[in-house]
């Protein structure tokens, strides 16, 4: 399966963040990175990934 470049970048970014969330001492660093605007961007990109996955499933 070949991923579109923008989706792959987003998934890699989210993967790197998910690793940090496993370590409570790193959470303070993350709080500053996730502004309301950034959180909305993440949600929108997540919707794009879901839409893409549903599209290729057909």
pLDDT per residue as tens digits for the range 1-58: 788 999 999 999 988 877 666 777 777 777 777 889 988 999 999 999 999 999 998 7
Q: Where are the domains of the chain?
A: 5-57
pTM score, whole prediction? 0.76
Over the range 10-47, which residues count as b (16 or more CB within 10 Å of their CB) and which as e?
beeeeeeeeeeeeeeeeeeeeeeeeeeeeeeeeeebee
């Amino acid at each position: 399966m070949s991923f579109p470049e923008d989706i792959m970048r987003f998934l890699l970014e989210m993967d790197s963040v998910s690793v940090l969330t496993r370590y409570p001492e790193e959470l303070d660093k993350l709080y500053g990175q996730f502004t309301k605007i950034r959180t909305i961007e993440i949600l929108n990109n997540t919707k794009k990934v879901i839409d893409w996955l549903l599209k290729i499933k057909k």
